[in-house]
Structure formats: C-alpha cells, structure tokens
C-alpha cells in the first residue's frame, strides 16, 4: 500500500556520493526538524526525467526554498555513481540532492514501485513528489499516468 498524507517516512537507507565515495543517507533522519521536498523518477538520463522533471527542480530551487523547503531531494532506482553523474550533467549541485535507491528498497517501502520490465528497465519507481515535514508526509503527488504534471516543480510550488 502506498504511503499517504500523515504517514511517517520509512527509515530505509539511500546512497549519495560524498567526496567521491558512496555514503548512506536516511531520508527519515535528513527530514528531522526540516521541510524536505522529494521527487522520484523512473530513471536517470531517461527523456522526461532529464529534459523536464529534474531540470524543473534545478531551475525552481530558489523559489521552492523561498517557500520554506530546507532540502530538495531526487530519488531514482539507480546506483549512486549514475545519480552523481546525472546530477553533475544536470547542474544539480547545491540545488538538488541526488539519492540512489539502488535496490529499490525505499521505493517498495513507500509502495510506489513500477514494473518497467516491458521497456527493459526492470523494477523502478513511479514518478511522484512529496513534501515531508519533520519526517511526516505533508503532501504526496503521484503521477496518475505517463507524463509530468502532478509531480512537477510547479505543482510542488503550488502545494508549499
């Protein structure tokens, strides 16, 4: 069952590159005492994710932070090396934290997995955004189907 408004975020480790090395991150810990915007994508370097979703949050990071977000986090079922390369390629440094859910454990824990094996991509994450306040889901915005609307940077700005 998918996470919903009012639920606590599960304490599942994600990975990010820090000083050239993979480092474990807990979104539950990261969001303690903070308001964190999280968005998830089916895959790094995939068309909608690379041309619209991540760039929207990179471009709108100042506006999102001005409305009270302490952090902006991107999650994908990719490894930390890929997420780091994608973040660098997309100029996300200092704007969006790129967290890897390499084994899809976080994605399954929040109930937002996507079977993309028909496209040769295996198990991935659905496209969604959420706003966390002190580790609790304040808003969850899953995409109802293909495309980008409900979980875009503009949609998140409207909810903040």
Q: Find the catalytic residue in 49, 73, 112, 148.
A: 49
pLDDT in the model for residue 120: 74
pLDDT (0 to 100) of residue 14:
98
Tokens for 7, please give them: 């639920």
pLDDT at 111: 93
β-bridge mates for residue 76, sequence order: 41, 100
- Residue 140 has what pLDDT? 97
DSSP secondary-structure letter at 99? E
Dihedral in degrees, nearest 10, Cα atoms 129, 131, 136, 138: -110
pLDDT for position 155:
97
Chain-centroid distance, C-alpha 137: 13
66-87 burial by CB neighbour count: b if 16+ within 10 A, else e? eeebebbbbbbbbbbebbbbbb
Identify the pLDDT of residue 119: 76
Q: Would you call 49 a catalytic residue per the annotation?
A: yes
Q: Return the H-helix or E-strand segment holding 37.
A: strand 35-41
Q: Which domains does the chain have, with CATH numbers?
A: 13-159 (3.40.30.10)
List the chain residues with pLDDT less than 70. Answer: 1, 122
């Amino acid at each position: 069952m998918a996470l919903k408004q009012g639920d606590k975020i599960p304490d599942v480790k994600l990975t990010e590159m820090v000083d050239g090395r993979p480092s474990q991150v807990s979104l539950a810990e990261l969001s303690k005492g903070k308001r964190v915007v999280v968005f998830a994508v089916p895959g790094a370097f995939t068309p909608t994710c690379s041309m619209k979703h991540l760039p929207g949050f990179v471009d709108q990071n100042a506006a999102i932070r001005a409305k009270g977000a302490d952090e902006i986090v991107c999650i994908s079922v990719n490894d930390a090396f890929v997420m780091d390369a994608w973040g660098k390629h997309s100029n996300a440094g200092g704007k969006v934290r790129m967290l890897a859910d390499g084994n899809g454990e976080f994605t399954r824990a929040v109930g937002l997995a996507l079977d993309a094996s028909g496209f040769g991509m295996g198990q991935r994450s659905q496209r969604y955004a959420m706003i966390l306040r002190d580790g609790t889901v304040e808003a969850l915005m899953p995409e109802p189907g293909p495309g980008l609307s409900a979980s875009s940077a503009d949609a998140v700005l409207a909810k903040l």
